[in-house]
Amino acid sequence: MLTAILALTLLALIFGLLLGYASVKFKVEGDPIVEQIDKLLPQTQCGQCSYAGCRPYAEAIAAGEADINRCPPGGEATILALADLLDVEPKPLDEEVGTEKPKMLAVIDEDRCIGCTLCIQACPVDAILGAAKHMHTVIADECTGCELCIAPCPVDCIDMVRTTPNPTTWRWPDPEHITLQEKIEEEQA
């Protein structure tokens, strides 16, 4: 038993070092434009853009394979920022990928949770805590609202709730702004 533990620890150590060395030695110079695009994406990692996460989508945009209007969580603000960065015309969110929704937060009904750990495996940002057969909970601050944990749950005990602002995070209402469509028209006129 002891030898097994020792052997495993040693292995972990060796591979850790190996990986560390490899990451330094074979470091791929990060593509600055991909970095910059990725910085503007909301990092919800939901995959609604049809890519495996924000970074893959950023890579696709940089490669000219994807349009800038495919990220519903980012919505108009992200589209405007991307248009600005890439110096292209902004355009409304692609309806195919969904619509801009208010920010949500996953909440686990702890009475119904059976501790199957399936949601933990689904969460892209490790925002769920819990051990097998024990109830799980979502760390509210870390949850990005990607909804990826909803489908895997076998007992349907995860709900998405709207995040409620407090007086510090509250925002003054929009008096009446022009939509992106109107702005584009106005600028063309």
Interatomic CA distance for residues 7 and 154, integer angstroms: 38
Q: In sequence order, what are the beta bridge partners of 137?
A: 129
Interacting residue with ligand SF4 among 37, 41, 66, 180 (CB under 6 A): 41
Q: Which of residues 54-93 bind other proteins (CB under 8 A)?
A: 54, 76-77, 80, 84
Binds 154: which of ligand SF4, other proteins, none (CB < 5-8 Å by kind): none
Apex 131 CA angle, 126 and 133, nearest 5: 135
Interatomic CA distance for residues 121 and 6, integer angstroms: 28
**Contact window for ligand SF4 (CB under 6 A) among 4-12, 21-29, 136-144, 164-172:** 136-144
Q: Does 128 bind ligand SF4 (CB under 6 A)?
A: yes
- Of 118, 103, 120, 110, give the one whose Cα is nearest residue 161: 103
Interatomic CA distance for residues 54 and 44, integer angstroms: 7
Binds 130: which of other proteins, ligand SF4, none (CB < 5-8 Å by kind): none
User: If DSSP codes are grouped into helix, strand and coil, which group holds residue 8?
Assistant: helix
Q: At what angle do helices 180-188 and 75-86 cross, to 10 degrees?
A: 40
Which residues bind to other proteins, rule: CB under 8 A? 11-12, 15-16, 19, 38, 41-45, 53-54, 76-77, 80, 84, 124-127, 142, 144, 165-178, 183
Which residues bind to ligand SF4, rule: CB under 6 A? 41-42, 44-49, 51, 53-54, 57, 71-74, 106, 122-123, 125, 127-128, 138, 143-149
